Structure formats: C-alpha cells, structure tokens
Structure 1
Amino acid sequence: MILVPLCVLLLAVAPAVAAAQPTADESPVTLRWHRVTPAVVEGKGWTDTEGDFDRFPARAKDDLRKPVWDLSQHSAGLSVQFVSDATRIRVRWTVTQDRLALPHMPTTGVSGLDLYANERGAWYFVGGARPTESPTNDADVIVGLSPTPREFRLYLPLYNGVSRLEVGVPEEATLRFVPSSKARPVVVYGTSITQGCCASRPGMSYTAMLGRRLDVPVINLGFSGNGKAEPEVARLLAELDPAIYVLDALPNLTPQQVDERMPAFIATIRAARPRTPIVLVEHLLYPNLRFRKEKAADVATANASLRRIYETRRQAGDRHITLVPSATLLGTDGDGTVDDSHPTELGFARMVDGLEPHLRRLLPKTQTSR
C-alpha cells in the first residue's frame, strides 16, 4: 500500500501549546513550546549583543568593517543544552536571511539545526531539522524516543542568523534548559573554514567537534573571507578570558599580511592575557596545491612567516604560545574538501585529530565543562 505523507500542521490553542497533526505511525500529540533565551545560549563571548544569537557585542558595530559585522550576526558555533524526557522533539526557528543554502553547502548546514544526546559522557547524533522556507520553519528532529530524561545539545545554523528559537515537546513531557557554561572556553578565530564551511550540518563543524571531544565550551569567531587579523578584532578577542586562543586565519591573509598583521594581533591579545595559551594554526595544505605552483608557493611562504613569528615570540620569552603544523590537519589523499579549500566532514575530522592533542595538553587540569 502506498502511504501519502501528511503535512504537519500546528494549531495554536495557547501561547506556548499547539496541537501537532500526527504522522502515519503516531497518535495526535499536543506540544508545549519553550523559547530559548540568551541566558542558555552556549558559545557566546559577549552578552551585550544586538540579537540573542549574534556573536559580537552591539557596541562593536561601528568599529568593524561591514562584512565582519554582518557575518558576526550568523549563529555559527552557538548551541543550546536542555534536559528532557520527551518522546518527541520538534523545533521552530526564524532565520534572518532568505538565502538558505550555498552552492557548495546544503541548507542543513547553512540554515538548519542538529541535535545530539549525551549517553554516559559521550555525545551522539540524534537528528536534524532542515529548513524549507524563509523566515520561519518548524520540524520534527526526532520522534519515538523512550521517555527517559536525557541531556541534549542543539546546534544553531552556521551561515544564517537566528532571531527566534523554540523547542517543542509533548505537553506531558518535561524540559529544562541548562544555563550556559561558566567554564573558560576555547576561542577560535579564523575564516570560512572556522565558521563551518562546508559542514553538512552545524554539529560537524570543526569547532563543534572540538567542543564535544574536549568537553569544553568553544566560541566560534570564524568570518567567511574576513578573518584578516585586524586590530579592532584583536581588541575584541582580548576582552575575553578563555582557557585557550586558537588563531586560524592564514587562509584569508596574503604572505605579506601575515608578516604585517599577525605579530600585532598576537601582541594585543598577549598584552591583555599574558599567560593564556595562544595556538597558531598553519595554513591548510589544500589538496590541489601540487597542481597550483604559485598558490603552493604563497601557502609555503605564509606558513614560513607564521613559524618565524612563533619562534620570535618564543625567543622573547613567551612560553604560552604553540604552533600547529599544517601537515597534520587535512591528509594527503585529496578527499578532505568540497572544493579546492573548504573541508568536508572528513576534512574537519582530520583537523580535529590534528588539533585535539595540542589543546588537550594546554587545557587546565581542573577544567570542567560546566
């Protein structure tokens, strides 16, 4: 017999309660909606943002170039944790841009959500929510869970902004949001790669994967095409008090800009945080560099410049600076990217494998995730 899929309709019966049309294999259910507030958003470095899910403080708007400011309104790296015994979890979210996908990145990563559950200290993928229109969508993430209390983590879109987010569970279920962590985070500054291009869903960006591996909060300050190591951005990073800074900006810098900008960028952070570890990440070795001699020479020059900057600081007595070589980050088989530069999940997993040992060694032994 052919089953015709039923459209999901939400019939509001109270401000936060709605009746959901059943799918073919379930009974009607009434959902109670829980709105996400800034106090429970993980991955934000500042609380004084213009929107609830922005990444830079509102006061920075006039100091930043417009592309950087606009990208800071993307919710890359943000997540929400909650505990629920729900048998069904649905999400309703409103994005700020009409563009739901990119030519090389699907809607699920650009504008979608994905959910993980914690089982005995490890995070496992539960399901995702795919947007179909702009601005507002609602979708089931998972149906058919056993009614057992679990801790969940919901990741927000990588390349779109969010103005409102709600989690819906059956009326009889409980849901409690977990306040954002007080633990010192890992702050990662960089490019489109750091922002998450081209993960197929938010939880597969390398910053999200690092957060799960290390069990620490991570602040994603990746800005597509605009990780240019500018002084105004360095001053903002210096306001934070992280456990570690990771600087992964070389793909957006020319070799000359590495020499001109990175020493001052590092110095600004170091002046404010004299003992905080700073991890410098070399430029990824793109898979087709063997066929692009001029680009390969630029990448080699940029990496050599970063190594000189690192050595200069070490020789000057900075014992809290680390260099991560590019050879450990992407592999040599050419299978780690979508195009000539942006990683797939395979590429991101390899990056995490290369970064994790350095970061784990630098994290305070007493660091806890909450």
Structure 2
Amino acid sequence: MKKFFIPVVLLLLCVVSVSAQKQIEASTLNLIGKPFELTPNPYHRVDTLVYKGFNRTENRQVRCPAGMAVLFKTNTRNIHITTKWGYVYSSNSTMPISYKGYDLYIKNADGQWQYAASGSSKAYKSERIETFALIENMDGTMHECMMYMPMYSEVISCKIGIDDDAVIESLKSDFRHKIVVYGSSFTQGVSTERSGMSYPMQFMRNTGFQIASLATSGRCLMQPYMTDILVEIKADAFIFDTFSNPDAELIKERLMPFIDRLIAAHPATPLIFQRTIYRERRTFDTVLDAKERAKAATVEELFAKILVDPKYKDVYLITPNASDAHETSVDGTHPNSYGYTLWAKSIEASVIEILNKYGIK
C-alpha cells in the first residue's frame, strides 16, 4: 500500500502546483512579428481562407507561428505553458524545442534581451493539449519578457500560466518599423536548437528592427499566389531569401515578374535580395555543385541588368555568410544556430546602410 500511496501523493502535488497558477491566452498580450495583424487564428501568419493556391505543405507552413513572439511583463516566479496543437511537425535535423517549443528572453539590467529558458511539451500528435514548465524559481520581481512561439508547428491555443498571486501585463514593443522577410527553410530556421535562433530573429534582437517572417521551408519559389500576399502586406522594407529553393530556370522565369509586381505595390520601398548561402555538401557532390553554380550564375546575370536600371533603383543584392571553416552545417544544407548567428551578423551592416537611405533607423 505504501508503494502505491507515495507516487499518488507526488502526482497530486504536481497537479496542485499547476492548478495553483492562473492562465492567460498569449494572443491577448502583445503578439509581434505577424505579417498580417489580423487573422482568425492569431497564431497563423496568413489567413488561408482568404489567400488561396497553397498546396498542403504550404498551407500548414503559413499556419505555423514562425517568427512570432509574445511580449509581456510579470512578477511570477514560475511560468507554465499550455498548448493546444494543430499540425505538429517532426524533424531529424531540428530540435523539438525549436519546431514545437518556446524560447524565453528576459531583459537584463543593461536593457538587453538575454536568453532565459526554453522548452517544449511531448506532443507529437495534433489536437493534443499539454502543459510544461518553461521557467521556475525566479525572484518574484517584475521582468520584461519576450517568448518566441514554435518555429514549425501550428498552435491553436497558447496559455501562459503564472503564480496565483502574480500579475502579467502586455508589454509595449520597442522594436522599430516593420521589415518582412520572405524566404526558405533557412529563413524559417530549420536546424536551429531554439525557435529564437533563426537569422531573422537574431537580426531583430541585434538591430531593434521588427521582423515579420513569411518563410516557407522548401517552398519559397516566388509563386504568383505568394506574391499576392507580399503585394498586400504593409511593410517598411522587404528582405528576400528567394534563391535557395528554385533552380536556375525557375529563377530566370519568375524573378522579373516578381520584382515588377512588388515595385508596383510598394513604390520607393527597399527590396533587399540575398544570394543563397553555400551548402556544405556540394563540395563533394558534383551534381549539386553544378546546380548551385547555375543558380548563382543566373542571379548574377539578372542582377547585372537590374542594378543599373533606374526602374529598379530600390532593388538591392547582398551576400550572407553562415559558415565558419565549413563547420557550421547540421545536415549539409542547413546551418546550426551559430551558423545563423554568422548569417545575421554578415548582413547587418549592408541592411542598415540600405535602410538608412530611406530614413528607416
């Protein structure tokens, strides 16, 4: 009887500990990093009932809250997260804490966002509700918090649980302007260890510019229906990682119509394109290397004309770098979090210089 009694008591204590918390839906606080301000599900990046043309993969991707973060302040000592899942992703090269977890930053005494905690539930199936402790045993003083949403799984509901005697309030964002980044799995953050470690999120913390991510892993192909979305998004600037997924022929076919539509929709708005990064496995894969060389040559050929044409005076081409002695790759294609750190830092000076021309500071 004793052997049965002790585990039951421990279980009851755990239940009491969680139930002693009050919960608030994360979206009722300050949810930043959304391409569109209003969607029926606040954690969706795109309203798939309005915008059509997606295949099944794309439909799932734009319903994932990649790049979104919740800003709040609280004096709780403990934070628990309760998630109701929609589509749940799985990956061999990306940490679960990144694709179905939460990443917490807290402002330190110097006013900088400092990593505090991260974690995920055990959910591997949709329509499951699970709770886990994100951080425990804080000092009980008021802290300013930024919690990144899961990088690659759909959230139906996210409730932030705080101590029953604590308060939680929406925190005003001090990130400036709105820059939309459209890109591939690189931009989404595949192979990161935490959801706040994609290069757009690191760039955002480093510079103070607000980033909204419209990344679609493997499906950033400048499709006309994706261009429809970019045409209607309101932004101060755009950054593109559009040459990582399509082959040379597709780039040649779609780039100019893509740029022309964006210029017409967003006149005098900087359109900053990035060359694709070096995929490490191409070094000894001759077929892949030939494809990558063809893509790069096509981009250079097209931009040699674009960059001297006054019609395209707001179009730019910059070069990112995510490699350090060829040791930052996870799977031969995607960099690890340190590789994305290198990427964010490698484009920082160029992007800031361009934005400053437009009074975006």
Indicate the larger mover: 147-156 or 302-311: 302-311
Do the aligned residues in 2 keep the contact of 1:39 with 1:180 (CA within 8 Å)?
Answer: no
Q: Which residue of 1 aligns with 2:4?
A: none
Indicate the larger mover: 163-172 or 127-136: 127-136
Deviation at 1:10, TM superposition (A): 6.4
Deviations 1:94-146 (A, max 9, x none): 221254x3122221111011100112331111111221134222122211212
Q: Which among 117, 135, 142 is matched to residue 135 of structure 2?
A: 142
**Larger helix fraction of residues:** 2
SS in 2 for 1:284: coil
Do the aligned residues in 2 keep the contact of 1:287 with 1:333 (CA within 8 Å)?
Answer: no
Instruction: Give the counterpart letter for 1:261 in structure 2.
Output: R
- Distance in 1 (CA, whole Å) between partners of 2:29 and 2:260 is 32
Instruction: Give the counterpart letter for 2:77 in structure 1.
Output: T
**Structure 1 residue 33 and structure 2 residue 27: aligned?**
no
How many residues align structurally? 348
Deviations 1:53-110 (A, max 9, x none): 11112444433333322211111111100011222222111221254x3122221111
**Structure 1 residue 266 and structure 2 residue 255: aligned?**
no
Q: Which among 272, 282, 289 is matched to residue 289 of structure 1?
A: 282
SS in 2 for 1:62: coil
Instruction: Give the counterpart letter for 2:301 in structure 1.
Output: R
Deviations 1:297-327 (A, max 9, x none): 22122122222332322221123222122xx
Q: Which residue of 1 aligns with 2:166?
A: 173
**Structure 1 residue 92 and structure 2 residue 82: aligned?**
yes
Q: Which among 243, 261, 264 is matched to residue 250 of structure 1?
A: 243
**Structure 1 residue 106 and structure 2 residue 95: aligned?**
yes
TM-score by length of 2: 0.89
> CA 1:333/1:353 → structure 2, altered by over 3 Å: closer, same or farther?
same
Q: Which residue of 2 aligns with 1:361?
A: 353
> CA 1:169/1:229 → structure 2, altered by over 3 Å: closer, same or farther?
same
**Structure 1 residue 46 and structure 2 residue 36: aligned?**
yes
Q: Which residue of 1 aligns with 2:54?
A: 64
RMSD: 2.4
> CA 1:239/1:62 → structure 2, altered by over 3 Å: closer, same or farther?
closer
Do the aligned residues in 1 keep the contact of 2:187 with 2:241 (CA within 8 Å)?
Answer: yes
Deviation at 1:178, TM superposition (A): 2.6
> CA 1:131/1:293 → structure 2, altered by over 3 Å: closer, same or farther?
same
- Distance in 1 (CA, whole Å) between partners of 2:88 and 2:177 is 35
Indicate the larger mover: 334-343 or 42-51: 42-51
Structure 2: runs of 5+ lacking an equivalent: 1-6
- Distance in 2 (CA, whole Å) between partners of 1:155 and 1:60 is 26
- Distance in 2 (CA, whole Å) between partners of 1:7 and 1:191 is 44
**Structure 1 residue 77 and structure 2 residue 67: aligned?**
yes
Indicate the larger mover: 308-317 or 187-196: 308-317
**Structure 1 residue 20 and structure 2 residue 35: aligned?**
no
Do the aligned residues in 1 keep the contact of 2:174 with 2:208 (CA within 8 Å)?
Answer: no
Large movers: runs of 4+ above 4 Å = 6-11, 179-183, 364-368
> CA 1:181/1:335 → structure 2, altered by over 3 Å: closer, same or farther?
same
Do the aligned residues in 2 keep the contact of 1:288 with 1:334 (CA within 8 Å)?
Answer: no
Instruction: Give the counterpart letter for 1:86 in structure 2.
Output: T
SS in 2 for 1:70: helix
- Distance in 2 (CA, whole Å) between partners of 1:218 and 1:366 is 17
Deviation at 1:49, TM superposition (A): 2.2
Deviation at 1:183, TM superposition (A): 4.4
SS in 2 for 1:305: helix
TM-score by length of 1: 0.87
SS in 2 for 1:267: helix
SS in 2 for 1:238: helix
- Distance in 1 (CA, whole Å) between partners of 2:259 and 2:324 is 30
- Distance in 2 (CA, whole Å) between partners of 1:48 and 1:89 is 27
- Distance in 1 (CA, whole Å) between partners of 2:135 and 2:172 is 23
SS in 1 for 2:20: strand
Deviation at 1:156, TM superposition (A): 0.7
**Structure 1 residue 122 and structure 2 residue 116: aligned?**
no
> CA 1:138/1:150 → structure 2, altered by over 3 Å: closer, same or farther?
same
SS in 2 for 1:37: helix
Matches within 5 A, 1:292-303: 292-303=285-296
SS in 1 for 2:244: helix
Do the aligned residues in 1 keep the contact of 2:74 with 2:166 (CA within 8 Å)?
Answer: yes
Do the aligned residues in 2 keep the contact of 1:86 with 1:147 (CA within 8 Å)?
Answer: yes
- Distance in 2 (CA, whole Å) between partners of 1:88 and 1:156 is 18
Q: Which among 349, 353, 359 is matched to residue 341 of structure 2?
A: 349
Structure 1: runs of 5+ lacking an equivalent: 12-18, 22-28
SS in 2 for 1:20: helix
